[in-house]
Chains A and B, each alone.
Chain A
Amino acid sequence: MILMTLLVIGSLQIMAINYIRRMDDFESSRETHREDLEKMSSMAQFVSFGIADDPRPPLLGIFAVGLDQKMSSSYSVPGYNIFGGGNTESPIQYQQHSEMEGMEMEGSKYSNPIFSLFQPPDFVYVVNIVLSLLAILFAYDCICGEKEDQTLKLMLTNSVPRDVVLLGKWIGGTLSIVMPFILAFIVGVALLSTNSQLQFTDEAWKRIAMILFTSTLYVMVFFLVGMAVSTFTERATTSLIVSLFVWVFLVLVVPNIAPVIARQIKPITTPTQVSAEEESGNREMVDEYKTSLDKATRGENADTKGVQEKLRKEMKESMASMVKTKETEWFNRLENQTRLAMNISRLSPSANFIYAASNIAGTGVDEFFNFRQQVPQFKKDLQKLTEKDTKELFDKDPAKPFPPNMFIKIKTQNIPYLEITTLNFEKSVKAAAMDLGLLAAWLIALFMASFIGFLRYDVK
């Protein structure tokens, strides 16, 4: 009990400190990038350096780090991908249209590689591993232990129906673990709310309440796992060992094997291969453009510029559509694979809990897909912003030499930040709904199982 309280409060504190550090990091990093921008007086510098920005760390990462480790990074757009009209014959021109490439992620903010060796000890982790284990320890001997102590026989000699006994045990046992847990959580969150560096909005409070609800549901499920095993075993020791194995299987094995199996069932090519394909497609199109330009302008010198513009436009369009088809197809396959992995792992209440909690906290799979869709928007915004400034210049004559562009000034104050619109509360809950439902289903199924087990239980 003390261990649990300490763990819950401690992990919340550690992750809060971590969040404040990330926030500092984020602010100083953003400041550095902006200062950098201020110093760039000309387009030449933009072209060589590009523009970088950081996404804001999620506040509720304190409760569930989830995929934040993979998302938190500086995102920079190289200049040649911003100034769309620039080097028309560049072999990586396709990156301007690409959603997979064209932005650079400068490594994770969690720079210590040991972060990838161990899971982060956030609240979700504590509940997922430690509290589920604790719930099993509370429940493993609740029937067979009493049988060994002979007290069960004694109790049933009174005219108490078996279902009432079981219900009483369930309610009493669940309360005795859930109440201290909720208390520890409230104390931990209260400590967080006294920290002036953390500001929780109303929506954040709603999410926190949802996280508590989900965790409570999960703890109850594992109490029932212990109880169900207990009604099917004769001795407490056997019950403990069997429940421990069930725990290992449900918490550790199923969720971990699922994505690897999904990868085998629905394999996809690597993103590097896709972009390599795009790059060679790019080269082919540029070659084609060059030969047809050659052909068209060889004969009469009537309208070289017009032809060139037309061909260039065609090339751009076909490149955009090539990139789009390739990437949409790939992303669809990736999403299918992800959904399959999730569905396989949903056999385990632990996976249900993690999906639900991380989605509510805004660091889950759905939030990740939302994030991934929005990041390329940053590039598009930058392109749109500078298009006006550079369009005339480049469109007039695409074969223009490089240097004089430097006289064009970029209005740095208009440059957008990388701000991600996170999923709102309703959407997050909707994303978590299925897993919440499954947790409830586990609850009912396990209670039914222990009910049947107990009705048939040999008390003597």
Chain B
Amino acid sequence: MLGILIKKELLDNFYSLRFMISSVICVFIILMSVFVLRQDYITKNEAYQNTIVKGRELAAESENYMELMFMGIRAARPPSKFQFLYTGVEKNPDIRTNIRSMLSPTFQGDLNFNPVLSLFPVVDLMFVVSIVMSLLAFVYSYDAVCGEREKGTLKLLMSYSVPRDKIILAKWIGGYVSLLIPYFIGVTGCAILIVSSSALAYNGQDWIIFALTIFVSLLFIAVMYSLGLFVSVISKRSNTSISILLLIWVIFVLIIPNMSPFAAEWVSSEILKKDIPSVSQVRAEIQVKTGDQMEDLIITMLANFEKVLQRHLPGFTWRNFKFGGEEREEAEQKQQQQEQGPGRQAQKEMDNKQEGTSGAQSGGQAQKEGSGLSGDEKRQAEAAGVNASDITSIMGQLTEQDLRDIKTFGCRSFLDNKLKQLMDMSLDDAKKMAAQYGMKASDIDNMLDECEVQKSRYLARLNSEIQKQGAEGGDTSAAQTQTQQKAAPEQAQTDSGEQKRYSWDDLQKIVPNLTDQDKREVTRDFWGGFVETSQSNMRETSLLWEDRNNAVAQQIALTKNIARISPVSAFIFAVTDLADTGVEHDIYLREDYLGTYQDLLSKFLESQLGMPYDKMPGKFDPFGIIREPPKPKQAMKEFQKYDYTPMPLMERLQNVVIDMFVLFFFMVLFFMLAYVSFLRAQIID
């Protein structure tokens, strides 16, 4: 009985126009797009392999290990074996990356691509199933019950002694099977395309995954077909049925998935108050945290260098050194002074002698200028004037802590903070306000200038302290003279005529003759500190990255859960995660692939250089950064070739369990709904 009913349904469908058109279109789209995308994948894969090989070649060209450490190895995002069937996130991803031993590698974008690709979604097997097949499922089912009711054939059928449950089951099976025919033709074509290409080389696991993706697709088509059947049972006319179904289709296929990431971003930022910092913001944060350490290190190294040089060039100091830019700078300064008139210069001189005077002065200036106004404006201007004097008074009372803040945060943000504390106003606001009331914004610039002076003085003092410490064991008298010079830079400048000023030429004569002992002394503190700093940098960096990655992972989970309201998204997540082109794969690449590559490089460098790092100073010399090359050209051959291993099957299955469950749940739900409502349906109007 059931067999006859199913046969009837199948024949009904086979002879209809929609079956012919849909089959032709489906098979045509699948074969054409998969064929084109397969070629595309093959070229992409070749390009990837090329990049990896070329990257290794270029790395082997490095002059020395230091260069290798800084330049890193060029690598690329490996394409997935399934991306021509299920493109997923591999549509137009950021592919370039540079593996360095000390920086967390990320994939970087570029602007060198065909932009048309990004304007449209890709048509692949997944697209055909999720969009075309889901539409077809509705087109096949919308009139399965109500169409027959309209024609009156259902009444006729029911007049025979056929149980209702068999009719609905037969309708489900018959329609579903005829829907699957074009799909299976297309998939067989895909399998042939895979086998026929020698460049693809699918192994056992790949075929299992291929079969699994087919299974998920069948589940999804069943969900959509059951939903269509349900709507067909409950609506009286087929026109109503197709309208409702199209509405559902638009919402499920086109709206819920696409809205989900925006909704998730909105929810996490507005409701959960969790903003994800951008990559560059994380990088900036890391720079802030570690930049100062590095600067201190360089200062230390310079101090050591200075000490060594003093043995060869008596009285050598960096302060006194001719860098080459001084003449120009002096000329510029003179020009500035001429432009700004003698008043400014006098003020500057006063600044140099006594801090805080300038504050009173500029505050007074502001008030004087304010007096030219009248009435309301005047009162406001006076208020502003008071503010201005407040501002300037800040500079008069700098504590040690303030100086440290200035050094770490820079003058602008220091003043900004101070102003905010004092009168809830930012520096720019203050500037604007000053301009509004006809005062000179340059007062505030003067403030900044003075702050800079303070900062450089502070730095000089720090320097001299470092010098002092460094010189304790050495020539104390030389160190003392230096300290004096450092403590009073103005004095040193005026005295510079008497002392000998060394230049590059002197340095070049000395540097090649330095002994190994000297070199080691120069780099001693620097290298140890450098290693320590980079290690702490790595730790901090990885912590910050971990934070960010966790935040992103949370948002992804939220997005997925929102999107899973629609079976289409569940299908897309399941199929792409299985095929290694999904969101989980993206995370896997960022974290595992890049991380493993970086570990490999670090380990290679360690083994080549005979870590720990403290042995390295002997190998390196600080001038021109390590000219003594242990050539990595031959050594690079020992660098283990890193082959990307795709995510193991079990892990992928774990990722898609929820989505498969969601699909299964939807299928059972919709089928039961259709079944029950057909049993209760009124056939005779």
Which A residues fall within an 8 A CB radius of B?
A: 3, 7, 14-15, 17-18, 21, 25, 28-29, 32-33, 35-36, 38-42, 44-45, 48-49, 52, 54, 66-67, 69-71, 73-74, 76, 89, 91-92, 100-101, 104-121, 125, 129-130, 133, 137, 237-238, 240-242, 244-245, 248-249, 252-253, 255-264, 267, 269-273, 276, 279-280, 283, 330-331, 334, 337-338, 341-342, 345, 351, 354-355, 358, 365, 368-369, 371-372, 375, 389, 392-393, 396-397, 399-404, 406-408
Contacts and interface: CB of A to CB of B under 8 A. Distances in A.
Interface string B249-281: 010001101111111111001000000101111
A105 B29 CA distance: 36
A248 B284 contact: no
A353 to B, nearest CB: 11
Binding site of A, secondary structure by majority: helix, strand, loop or mixed?
helix
Given A52-B284, A117-B88, A252-B127, 12 more contacts: A109-B278, A115-B261, A118-B258, A120-B262, A252-B132, A257-B123, A260-B37, A272-B76, A276-B51, A280-B57, A396-B504, A403-B622
A345 B576 contact: no
Nearest to B33: A257
Interface of B: 17-18, 21-22, 25, 29, 32-33, 36-37, 39-40, 43, 47, 50-51, 54-55, 57-58, 61-63, 67, 71, 74, 76, 88-89, 91-96, 106-123, 127, 131-132, 135, 139, 143, 238, 242-243, 246-247, 250, 254-255, 257-266, 269, 276, 278-281, 283-285, 287-288, 291-292, 294-295, 298, 301-302, 305, 318, 321, 323-325, 328, 407-413, 455, 459, 504, 507-508, 511, 552, 555-556, 559-560, 563, 572, 576, 582-583, 586-587, 622-625
Contacts of A331: 112
A32 B109 CA distance: 21
A14 B262 CA distance: 7
A403 B288 contact: no
Max chain B Cβ within 10 angstroms of own Cβ: one of A32, A74, A272, A406 = A272
A39 B291 contact: yes
Contact of B280 (A45, A76, A114, A283): A76
Contact of B139 (A44, A133, A244, A397): A244
Nearest to B407: A41
10 contacts: A32-B281, A107-B279, A112-B556, A116-B89, A121-B262, A248-B131, A257-B36, A260-B122, A283-B58, A351-B120
Nearest to A116: B89
A231 B625 CA distance: 80
Contacts of A399: 624
A74 B58 contact: no
B25 to A, nearest CB: 6
A267 B47 CA distance: 12
A232 to B, nearest CB: 13
B261 A119 contact: no
Contacts of A130: 250, 254
Nearest to A350: B120
Nearest to A405: B323
Contacts of B576: 117
A222 B642 CA distance: 53
A44 B278 contact: no
Contacts of A76: 280, 283
Nearest to A44: B298
B279 A273 contact: no
- 5 closest A-B pairs by beta carbon, nearest first, are A74-B280, A38-B410, A271-B112, A105-B109, A106-B279
Nearest to B47: A270
A273 B121 contact: no
A102 to B, nearest CB: 11
Among A41, A262, A371, the one with the most B-chain Cβ atoms within 10 Å of its Cβ is A41
